[in-house]
């Protein structure tokens, strides 16, 4: 296989490694709360501690969503290379791969101390991947509509 065919997959691989690394015990909730809760307390000095804990949890779930949003975009880009536009097959395959990776990531977390598998997290991941495909569809359709018609 030529390097030019592998090039679009390098960002996918890099992002998948980043997700895998963030699934370790070192980034479990109790560890991230050590720096995130004090930061929130500094930003919101009058906030109730329970609110800070909720904001920490919300931020952690946003990271799930964003990680898989980006992964799904990168997968779509790699799957359609060298073509342009949008096709159901590229979007569906990107979504399938991102969903399978989300499931495997939750399985991986079952082996990490202080972590565990979560169907809710997997659904958040899949929601991010699905939203990305919807965004790509909207973006490409708008781009096609605004392009000058061929004469």
Looking at residue 114, what is its pLDDT? 76
Percent of the chain with pLDDT over 90: 59
pLDDT, position 27: 64
pLDDT at 135: 97
82 vs 136: which has the higher pLDDT: 136
Sign of CA dihedral 141, 88, 83, 149: negative
Is the separation of the CB atoms in 105 and 125 below 8 Å? yes
State the chain's mean pLDDT as an integer: 89
CA 94 from centre of chain: 12
What residues does each domain of the chain span? 3-145
Q: What is the spatial distance between Cα 104 and Cα 110, in angstroms, rounded to a whole number?
A: 10
So what's the pLDDT on residue 74? 98
**Between the CA of residue 6 and those of 1, 2, 81, 94, what are the distances in Å?**
8, 7, 10, 16
Residue 148 is encoded by which pair of tokens?
A: 């000058």
Residues in contact with 141: Cβ distance below 8 Å, sequence separation at least 6, in sequence order: 86
d(CA 124, CA 122): 5
The tokens for 2 are 């030529």
Model pTM?
Answer: 0.88
pLDDT, tens digit, for every residue of 30-86?
667 788 888 888 999 999 989 988 988 998 899 999 999 999 999 999 999 989 889
CB 97 within 8 A of CB 125: no
């Amino acid at each position: 296989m030529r390097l030019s065919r592998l090039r679009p997959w390098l960002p996918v691989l890099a992002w998948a490694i980043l997700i895998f690394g963030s699934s370790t015990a070192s980034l479990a909730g109790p560890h991230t709360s050590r720096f995130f809760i004090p930061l929130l307390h500094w930003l919101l000095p009058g906030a109730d501690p329970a609110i800070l804990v909720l904001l920490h949890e919300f931020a952690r779930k946003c990271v799930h969503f964003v990680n898989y949003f980006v992964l799904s975009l990168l997968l779509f880009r790699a799957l359609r290379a060298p073509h342009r536009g949008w096709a159901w097959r590229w979007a569906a395959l990107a979504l399938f791969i991102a969903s399978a990776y989300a499931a495997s990531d939750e399985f991986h977390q079952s082996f990490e101390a202080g972590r565990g598998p979560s169907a809710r997290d997997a659904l958040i991941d899949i929601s991010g991947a699905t939203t990305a495909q919807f965004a790509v569809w909207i973006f490409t359709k708008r781009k096609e509509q605004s392009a000058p018609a061929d004469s």
